[in-house]
């Protein structure tokens, strides 16, 4: 599919900024209707048919235009998942962000990428290991991905500036966080890439970091953990990586150091033990030779009607079953697919109906819950 026109880009941004519309809902609706404009036109009717009491309208077009203008003013641009500059590994995950902002150069996405993540309060040894791994991967022609946090993330970015580094941030691509990484942020923008699904100027909140983490693993072919406590955001990224079919690696550490308990547990549970970049290169060699998927063309799936094999009775039955299984604790859609004896397409459509009706909410990582 060719690059979006300016009008199409506005349509996409309007749709993903619409209340209740998350990446999974976006992708499902696009597959049914073929274009964001067709979905936007159908939204009021779809929501009413799903049982929503209040009207559901797309986000204002002038607000979308203003957002893109703010991005241009800071030297950032918006890339759609169907476009060639979008990172192909990221496009492969079920809840890929339809749009990402980029500050820097898309050329770093052309290299295979590996994430190096870990503790914010990293030890000197941990930081040194992150730098050695990043330098080794860069020497083998790979980009290094991380979250621009203190500690391990910062060390990995610094060591891969010259060979290709990708910073995935939880706020806007123009927001410096943490403050001490102001200079590093500018160097990455000048030599590598900073990406985010958030609008320019957005300050990161606690709920934005898990969403950011699934992009870190999604952009990457493998995720390396260097120091992580038993309960940390780093392990959330490792979990996303496993769900996305990525390889997970971990550097072992002292069992007496709390910062190493999470990494050691990953190794105990099956993650590949890493002592050098060569360990990562060797483990990924097979999949790196494989061809990447071309950009997805949603227009090829356009079909405004649901599969007529499914009766109204079957659709209603599955919707009731999905709602009964949902709670206020997010549940992965795959859990619902396993629990409900019905075609997967029917289960996903039932989820989307509940989202459009305002009864369910989409969360990061393809998880859904009842709406509080």
pLDDT given at position 59: 97
Q: What is the dotted CATH code of the domain comprising 308-372?
A: 1.10.10.10
- Half-sphere exposure in the Cβ direction for 203 (13 Å, CA): 1
Candidates 287, 284, 247, 281; CA nearest to 135 is 281
State whether CATH 3.40.50.450 applies to domain 94-288: yes
pLDDT given at position 365: 83
Burial tier of 98 (Cβ tally within 10 Å: 0-12, 13-18, 19+) = buried
The reply to whether the predicted model has a pTM over 0.85 is yes
Candidates 177, 132, 180, 130; CA nearest to 156 is 130
pLDDT given at position 277: 98
pLDDT given at position 297: 59
pLDDT given at position 281: 97
Each residue's pLDDT expressed in tens, for the chain with a length of 372 residues: 579 999 999 999 999 999 999 999 999 999 999 999 999 999 999 999 889 988 899 999 999 999 999 999 999 999 999 999 999 999 999 999 999 999 999 999 999 999 999 999 999 999 999 999 999 999 999 999 999 999 999 999 999 999 999 999 999 999 999 999 999 999 999 999 999 999 999 999 999 999 999 999 999 999 999 999 999 999 999 999 999 999 999 999 999 999 999 999 999 999 999 999 999 999 999 776 554 555 665 554 444 444 545 677 888 899 999 999 999 999 998 999 999 999 888 899 999 999 999 999 999 888 999 998
Rounded to 5 degrees, what angle do the CA atoms 148, 152, 157 make?
50
Candidates 87, 89, 68; CA nearest to 16 is 68
pLDDT given at position 78: 98
Write down the mean pLDDT value for the chain: 92
Instruction: Indicate if 308-372 has the same CATH topology as 94-288.
Output: no
The H or E element spanning position 116 is strand 113-118
CA distance 296 to 73: 29
Instruction: Please report, for the chain, the start and end positions of each structural domain, with discontinuous segments joined by +.
Output: 94-288, 308-372
């Amino acid at each position: 599919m060719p690059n979006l026109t300016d009008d199409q880009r506005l349509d996409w941004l309007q749709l993903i900024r619409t209340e209740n519309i998350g990446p999974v809902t976006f992708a499902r609706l696009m597959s049914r209707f073929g274009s964001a404009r067709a979905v936007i036109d159908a939204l009021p009717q779809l929501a009413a048919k799903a049982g929503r009491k209040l009207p559901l309208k797309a986000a204002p077009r002038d607000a979308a235009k203003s957002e893109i203008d703010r991005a241009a003013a800071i030297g950032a641009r918006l890339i759609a998942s169907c476009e060639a500059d979008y990172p192909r590994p990221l496009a492969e995950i079920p809840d890929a962000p339809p749009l990402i902002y980029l500050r820097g150069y898309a050329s770093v996405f052309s290299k295979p990428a590996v994430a190096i993540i870990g503790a914010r309060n990293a030890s000197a040894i941990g930081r040194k290991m992150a730098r050695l791994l990043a330098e080794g991967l860069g020497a083998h022609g790979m980009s290094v991905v991380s979250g621009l946090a203190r500690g391990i993330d910062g060390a990995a970015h610094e060591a891969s500036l010259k060979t290709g580094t990708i910073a995935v941030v939880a706020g806007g691509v123009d927001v410096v966080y943490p403050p001490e990484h102001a200079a590093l942020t500018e160097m990455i923008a000048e030599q590598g890439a900073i990406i985010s699904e958030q609008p320019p100027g957005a300050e990161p909140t606690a709920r934005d970091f898990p969403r950011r983490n699934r992009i870190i693993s999604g952009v990457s072919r493998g995720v390396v953990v260097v120091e992580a406590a038993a309960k940390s955001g780093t392990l959330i990224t490792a979990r996303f990586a496993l769900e996305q079919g990525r390889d997970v690696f971990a550097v072992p550490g002292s069992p007496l150091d709390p910062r190493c308990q999470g990494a050691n547990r990953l190794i105990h549970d099956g993650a590949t033990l890493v002592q050098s970049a060569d360990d990562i290169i060797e483990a990924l060699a097979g999949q790196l030779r494989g061809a990447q998927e071309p950009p997805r063309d949603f227009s090829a799936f356009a079909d405004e009607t649901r599969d007529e094999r499914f009766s109204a009775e079957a659709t209603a039955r599955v919707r009731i079953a999905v709602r009964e299984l949902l709670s206020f604790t997010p549940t992965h859609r795959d859990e619902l697919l396993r629990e409900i004896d019905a075609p997967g397409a029917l289960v996903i459509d039932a989820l989307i109906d509940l989202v459009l009706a305002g009864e369910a909410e989409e969360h990061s990582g393809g998880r859904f819950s009842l709406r509080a």
